[in-house]
Structure 1
Amino acid sequence: MKSNLKMFYVLTSLALIFGFIGACGGAPAKQPPQAVQVKSADAPQTELVKAPAKAAAPVTLNGAGATFPLPVYTEWIQMYKSVQPDVTLNYQGIGSGGGQKAILDGAVDFAGSDSLLKDSQYQQMPDLQMLPMLAGAVVPIFNLEGVDNLVLDGPTLVNIFMAKITNWNNPAIAALNPGVSLPNEPIIVVHRSDGSGTTEIFTSYLGAVSNEWVDAVGVGKAVEWPADQIGQGIGGKGNPGVAQAAQSTPFSIGYVELAYAKSNNIPFVDMVNVAGNQVTANADSMKDAMAAFANAFDERLTTKIVNAPGKNSWPIMGYTYLVIHLSENTDCDKTAALLGYIQWAISDGAAAQKAADLGYATLPDAVHDLVMNKLHKVTCNGQPVL
């Protein structure tokens, strides 16, 4: 009995000693990586990726930019709290232009943008990297009492926003909407008042349809709207501002990301696409457009996907991107936490389903792989992070 007690005391003492050494000097043991299903909201995937490693210490990541993805980013941030309780993510929807300025000024850890960075911005900060996160449809919304369905084609939409078509009962609109009672009322054009990636997507489409639009108005985050010059234009800040202005302004037409139209129950236009078919913005028409441009990414991992040639393609589409630093990272905990979040957002099945429920299109497999490859090139203090 004494022998057994002696052995018990020896073993207990050794356990306490090694436990003390581990607590004082050793790093926390890494948990084995868990496998998570890769992203598709439509069908089961067999490919597995490593789940984000648990944060070694609490980390706060601040981002700002595009309002285009704000609904899904808000949901993802809430969902990610259960995946990484020690990572706090903040994202402000201030517009793509504001997000680009913020990351160039060093005010945020990452930016959101639907607008592509300019060469001058890459020259100012050469390590910036745009990462496609989702794609979405920009839809023309309208406020016409008694009219629930409206069809437009590219040339007619261009002429409305060029203020060449200024009344709702114009013959060009009437020809596309037989049997619809269109009022003899002026068209009020609602547009963004801030620098906006949604505006860049929308004006890119108008420019793809009309060279006159390119020459007279232009393509970009902000343009001079012809409707303002004739007193039939209203500006709204962010997608929420345009949605609110259109809802409160009779006889108006505007443009927002599809999620804003759906969440606010605002009717949106069906478009006649370049193939000559009437299409509505939904999961199938977005996927058709993305497939048409599957191999169109440039060396910067960016592309435009407007006016897609597919038979059922929605014509006003765009990717939304996160802008991060590829190499000039010095806080490695923050960098690792950011990459973990991005990996989760584009790879997790629940995240993909939430995006689909809100009206966004998740990345095709080939684009997902391009983003993952780019994440593995991110460095902190000269060392790979993943």
Structure 2
Amino acid sequence: MLFLGSLPGRGNDILTGAGATFPAPLYMAWFERYCRDTGQRVIYDSVGSGAGTQKILKREVDFGASDAFIGDDDLAFAPGKLLHLPTCVGAVAITCNLPGNPTLRLSPETLVDLFKGKIQRWSDPRLARENPDIKLPDLGVVVVHRADASGTTFIFSDYLTRVSNQWRNTVGRGKTLRWPVGMGADGNPGVADMVQRIPGAIGYMETMYATARNLPTVAVRNLAGQYVTPTLASVSAAAQIEVPDDTRVYLANTSAATGYPITGFTWVIFYREQAYGQRSPDRAQRLANLLWWMIHDGQADTQGLHYAPLPPEAVAKAEAVLRSIRYNGKPILGE
């Protein structure tokens, strides 16, 4: 049976986290609600997945947050064993600024050619063939990508790498890339603002940021040959996979017939052994309480902010991750 311990009262130490902008709207809503319900304040700095990973590696925050899990090579250099806790499922939406805000249909091949700069005008015949019912303008294509180290970029480039050998061999995947073409902006909000401002722009961002700005999302052709937009149903379908015990798994290029192909988990990252630095048992307990709440009570808030809740298998694996947290070798949560 799980033991959460006593909840903190108002005025107790603030918990801190930093990282991904991808889930930031959800995290902000969560932490406001959690403070209201429990009195525990949480400060989250949405500095991007790359910066958040560095902050937890340096033990500057209670938890980092990233849409790209930390690989084995980097984990080996961490000062302690790091754990990954999935918190929700989100989609990387492709959106563009065209007259009339049409919902475009794009194949993986066309998407690659757009972001490689091989398609330079929206009147290109390849786009017209996929969108025969849309009158596309003779307007230049302006690619907008992330300038900072980004988990959103990792999810998107992981997808492009899976669908294109050419992309894999020339650009690859990562939180930062040497983009063949385009303009950079910081954070999901920066990309969304730039796409909204520039006629002919195309960019990628977490769905919430497109929805908040009334930007149309592209229907991307999945492995089953279906053109799918990022919706709660299509994102949830993509997440119905086997989750490993350490929860580090990517969802891109799903085989689900109704699944949106550019989908991913997002994680919070923290140390298994919480007795380090000046951390107290109470602080470790309060962090564990918060994380348990996020994968249970907090899931009720996901859909209203255009994220999908964790599937049951992911919740079960996340519970096991949390039960492994220790303070001086002793479990913080009940077995």
The letter for the 1-side match of 2:158 is S
The CA deviation at 1:328 is 4.3
The letter for the 2-side match of 1:182 is L
Larger Rg: 1
2:172 aligned residue = 218
1:253 aligned residue = 202
2:322 aligned residue = 375
The letter for the 2-side match of 1:121 is D
Question: 1:48-86 CA distances to partner (integer Å, 9 max, x unpaired)?
Answer: 97666312771211110000000000000100012211x
Stretch deviating more after TM superposition (318-327 or 114-123): 114-123
Is 2:304 aligned against 1:357?
yes
1:28 aligned residue = none
Q: TM-score, normalised by structure 2?
A: 0.94
Alignment equivalent of 2:52, drawn from 77, 95, 99 = 99
The CA deviation at 1:148 is 2.3
Is 2:264 aligned against 1:318?
yes
Is 2:18 aligned against 1:64?
yes
The CA deviation at 1:353 is 2.9
Secondary structure of the 2:14 match is strand
The letter for the 2-side match of 1:256 is M
The CA deviation at 1:298 is 3.4
Contact kept? 1:139, 1:256, Cα under 8 Å:
yes
Secondary structure of the 1:59 match is coil
What is the count of residue pairs matched by the alignment? 328
Q: CA separation in 1, counterparts of 2:111 and 2:50?
A: 25
**1:116-195 paired onto structure 2 within 5 Å:** 116-125=69-78, 126-195=80-149
1:43 aligned residue = none
1:283 aligned residue = 232
The letter for the 2-side match of 1:137 is A
Alignment equivalent of 2:252, drawn from 283, 296, 306 = 306
The letter for the 2-side match of 1:306 is A
Q: CA separation in 2, counterparts of 1:143 and 1:53?
A: 51
Stretch deviating more after TM superposition (357-366 or 54-63): 54-63
Is 2:286 aligned against 1:333?
no
Secondary structure of the 1:124 match is coil
Distance 1:328 1:343, change over 3 A: closer
Secondary structure of the 1:111 match is strand
User: Which consecutive unaligned segments of at least 5 residues does structure 2 have?
Assistant: none
Q: CA separation in 2, counterparts of 1:362 and 1:329?
A: 31
% same residue: 36
Stretch deviating more after TM superposition (118-127 or 179-188): 118-127
The CA deviation at 1:172 is 1.2
Extract structure 1 runs of 4+ deviating beyond 3 A: 48-53
Q: CA separation in 2, counterparts of 1:343 and 1:370?
A: 12
Q: CA separation in 2, counterparts of 1:238 and 1:265?
A: 18
The letter for the 1-side match of 2:103 is N
Question: 1:290-335 CA distances to partner (integer Å, 9 max, x unpaired)?
Answer: 11x2x1x334321000010111110000100000100143421111
Q: CA separation in 2, counterparts of 1:219 and 1:355?
A: 27
Contact kept? 2:253, 2:261, Cα under 8 Å:
yes
The letter for the 2-side match of 1:287 is S
Q: CA separation in 1, counterparts of 2:185 and 2:275?
A: 36
Q: CA separation in 1, counterparts of 2:73 and 2:221?
A: 36
Question: 1:83-142 CA distances to partner (integer Å, 9 max, x unpaired)?
Answer: 211x21000101000001111112111000001212232111241111111110101010
Alignment equivalent of 1:113, drawn from 38, 63, 66 = 66
Contact kept? 2:144, 2:204, Cα under 8 Å:
yes
Q: CA separation in 2, counterparts of 1:114 and 1:322?
A: 9
The letter for the 2-side match of 1:146 is G
Q: CA separation in 2, counterparts of 1:147 and 1:220?
A: 30
Q: CA separation in 1, counterparts of 2:235 and 2:3?
A: 29
Contact kept? 1:110, 1:323, Cα under 8 Å:
yes
Secondary structure of the 2:202 match is strand
The letter for the 2-side match of 1:307 is N
Q: CA separation in 2, counterparts of 1:328 and 1:287?
A: 33
The letter for the 1-side match of 2:73 is S
Secondary structure of the 2:134 match is coil
Contact kept? 1:169, 1:183, Cα under 8 Å:
yes
Is 2:298 aligned against 1:346?
no
Contact kept? 1:64, 1:110, Cα under 8 Å:
yes
2:43 aligned residue = 90
Q: TM-score, normalised by structure 1?
A: 0.82
